[in-house]
Amino acid sequence: MLKKISTIPFKDTAEQAAKLDAVIAECTPDVSKLMHVMQEAQGIYGYLPFEVQQKIADGMKVPLEKVYGVATFYAQFALSPKGQYAISVCLGTACYVKGAQEILDELSAQLGIGAEECTADGRFSLTACRCIGACGLAPVMTVNDDVYGKITAADVAGILAKYKD
Amino acid sequence: MYRSHVLVCGGTGCTSSNSQKIIETMEAELKAKGLENEVQVIRTGCFGLCALGPIMIVYPEGCFYSEVKVEDVPEIVEEHLLKGRMVKRLLYTETVTPTEIKGLNDTNFYKTQNRVALKNCGVINPEDINEYIAYDGYQALAKCLTELTPEQVIQIVKDSGLRGRGGGGFPTGLKWSFTAANKADQKYVVCNADEGDPGAFMDRSVLEGDPHCIIEAMAICGYATGATEGYVYVRAEYPIAVARLQIAINQAKELGLLGKNIFNSGFDFDLHIKLGAGAFVCGEETALMTSIEGNRGEPRPRPPYPAVKGLFGKPTTENNVETFANIPAIIRKGADWFASMGTEKSKGTKVFALGGKIKNTGLVEVPMGTTLRDVIYEIGGGIPGGKAFKAAQTGGPSGGCIPASLMDTPIDYDNLTAIGCMMGSGGLIVMDEDNCMVDIAKFFLDFTVDESCGKCTPCRIGTKRLLEMLDKITEGKATLEDLDKLEELCHYIKENSLCGLGQTAPNPVLATLKFFREEYVAHVVDKKCPAGVCKKLLSFSIEADKCKGCTLCARKCPVGAISGAVKQAHSIDTSKCIKCGVCIDSCKFGAIIKK
């Protein structure tokens, strides 16, 4: 799948850098742990900027091409930062047949961004995700860790309002 | 000794509707009433009836509370647990009769189910190994290690007739015997918990509700095939399952049920969890192994098969979660017991995840050979809103659909294959008259285009071309000749793709073409979408005699396409209309029609 690559300049703190160094040191030289290191790195930074990929490649002594290859292969790895509130609409089959596409369209219209994008103020990002397995609640959307189930397009404005201030 | 046990579902569905908060509130309320040593609250795995979550069961009465809210908890504690009076308004309606309260197993949803793989889900606390042991846990492993030879174990699994539950349906015992026959310094057991089929969640529920059963089965497989190390490859989207599995592994290690010299038999077995990162193709066994090794999860050509050269180049047995979940019971109760359930060539039970347009969404486990009609109407409670059943989709993006005319087909591997469908992992999505089958085929193709790993050309480019043709059809730009081309391309992709993803990707198109060809023809020839889904083919209009001229729709229309004077019939300018449907939702008189 195509991924959006961030143009936002990379910044990190000494604390973040130290955490990543520790994870790399713990897993090197076992290259089968590359994905684990990348998952931890995404946990630390929220996404995988180019500079972080370079650091992992250097630390684990694997080509950058391999790190980038893995980052672009798996849906979970983000190359752009997420919003303060990451909105995810489940597009699994059970949700889709119950109108999840309409929910996504409505969110997209209200936020003025497409799927896999972030609003200019960095407040909301929107993702269409794979089945989260809460099919009994279909259609489902999540905002960070809050789950909203059995919703309609008409509920979208009310849900967004909760996160506007 | 507790006088009452409160079981609260802690599966993903109920957790999403706040069951964790219910447990916390209940514990606090019990403490406030001084009942904390009399009533025990247990967070279990999935009960299966996800539509009615959050679910709570109170024993010894066995009464079944559904759709419980945090606000209801004080009442349950005060009335039921303190004063002994059930809170009738929260009881699942089907369990209440004028004379008595029925138990869970007497309800339509549960009474025809036969739980083998889901035996402990919703019954035990998955985070306590002692509860698993109390329900015969680890007895099968003990029996294998102390009474049976590896060959005998494989023979029992072969005799049981168990076939792979991940979709392929390959005989499990045979698979084990291939790995066992290969000599190597290291062999592996891999559990495929990369449940990628959207709408299927049985593997997650087993891991969440009964993780020890998978550990036990993998150790048995290791003993039978000569492997000493195992990997469970789990989707990262399943945090609760991962956490419980990790707890279970730690507890098993503490008790010596994993590690060195298990049961003093000299057999060593260790288990690791590996997290996936969201790639559907990793459900394919060779791609999964490539991913565990830390690479892009691309499949490898077979042969060599994993039994010869699998994970890290060593002989490997790979089974899906539900397959493993059957193993301990087969060893404990014997091959004959298992083979007594099901049909001639498909033994045992199968778990289905019911979803879509069905009343009782959730997980059900029925003997192989049960008809779709029984699953949908008897257990599933039918279609909500009085709508007509149109089709059931099985096997996810690799599967097909079963139309109403074939509802009485006994569901097993071979019958489904015969009608051009596929068992798949067991996702069963019900669709009604409002779903467009061309749109559904397009939905799945959109999925496979996104998930195709790109290694082989037939899949990478072929599925993209299929999707473009479907787009053309749903936009009303296709000709009948395109339908033939569509079919031809489907067969080409099936025959030439490298792995299961590409080989099965055209199935949703082929199955809908086979059973709903007239719907494709309607899109192509009449330029109409009979179900009213494909936007480009819809036109909106207002029925003058029903319109009261309230102006609501005109005010709501985002593009100003509706005009008309107050108390006069309105009309829609179709050249401006963007077919968003806001007018239909706002009209109180049903005057707006789309067709």
Tokens 């087993």 — which residue?
B206
**Mutation target among A28, A33, A35, A77 for the B interface, most CBs of B within 10 A:** A35
Q: How far is A1 from chain B (nearest CA, A)?
A: 5
Question: In the Cβ-directed half-sphere of B80, how many Cα atoms lie within 13 Å?
Answer: 30
- Residue pair B458/B504 in contact by the 8 Å Cβ criterion: no
pLDDT on residue B318 = 97
Interface contact B362, partner A, CB < 8 A: yes
pLDDT on residue B1 = 84
pLDDT tier, B297 (very low <50, low <70, confident <90, very high otherwise): very high
- Element (DSSP H or E) covering residue B250: helix B239-254
| Domain span(s) for CATH 3.40.30.10 in chain A | 85-161
Q: Which domains does chain B have, with CATH numbers?
A: 4-107 (3.40.30.10), 129-338 (3.40.50.11540), 349-432 (3.10.20.600), 437-526 (1.20.1440.230), 539-594 (3.30.70.20)
Q: Do A75 and B357 touch (CB under 8 A)?
A: no
Residue A91 with chain B: CB contacts under 8 Å? 198
How would DSSP label each residue in B68-87? --GGGHHHIIIIIIIT----
pTM above 0.95, yes or no: no
Q: pLDDT, tens digit, for every residue of B510-545?
A: 999 999 999 999 999 999 999 999 989 988 999 999
Q: pLDDT, tens digit, for every residue of B189-239?
A: 999 999 888 888 999 999 999 999 999 999 999 999 999 999 999 998 888
Q: How far apart are CA B272 and CA B230, in angstroms?
A: 6
pLDDT tier, A103 (very low <50, low <70, confident <90, very high otherwise): very high
Out of A70, A92, A102, the one facing B198 most closely (by C-beta) is A92
Out of A35, A129, A134, the one facing B294 most closely (by C-beta) is A35
Interface contact B495, partner A, CB < 8 A: no
Q: Do B16 and A149 touch (CB under 8 A)?
A: yes
CATH of A85-161, one of 3.40.30.10, 1.10.730.10, 3.40.50.300, 3.40.50.450: 3.40.30.10
Distances in Å between the Cα of B130 and the Cα atoms of B27, B127, B326, B510 are 22, 9, 20, 49
Q: Do B585 and A154 touch (CB under 8 A)?
A: yes
pLDDT tier, A108 (very low <50, low <70, confident <90, very high otherwise): very high
What average pLDDT does range B37-51 have in this prediction? 93
Q: pLDDT, tens digit, for every residue of B465-516?
A: 999 999 999 999 999 999 999 999 999 999 999 999 999 999 999 999 999 9
pLDDT tier, A2 (very low <50, low <70, confident <90, very high otherwise): low
pLDDT on residue B280 = 92
Task: ipTM value, please give it.
Answer: 0.89
Residue A134 with chain B: CB contacts under 8 Å? 12-13, 16, 50
| Nearest C-alpha neighbor of B185 from the set B230, B231, B226, B232 | B226
pLDDT on residue A1 = 58
Q: pLDDT, tens digit, for every residue of B231-265?
A: 999 998 888 999 999 999 999 999 999 999 999 99
- Residue pair A23/A33 in contact by the 8 Å Cβ criterion: no
CA–CA–CA angle B33, B37, B41 (5° rounding): 85
Out of B50, B293, B356, the one facing A97 most closely (by C-beta) is B356
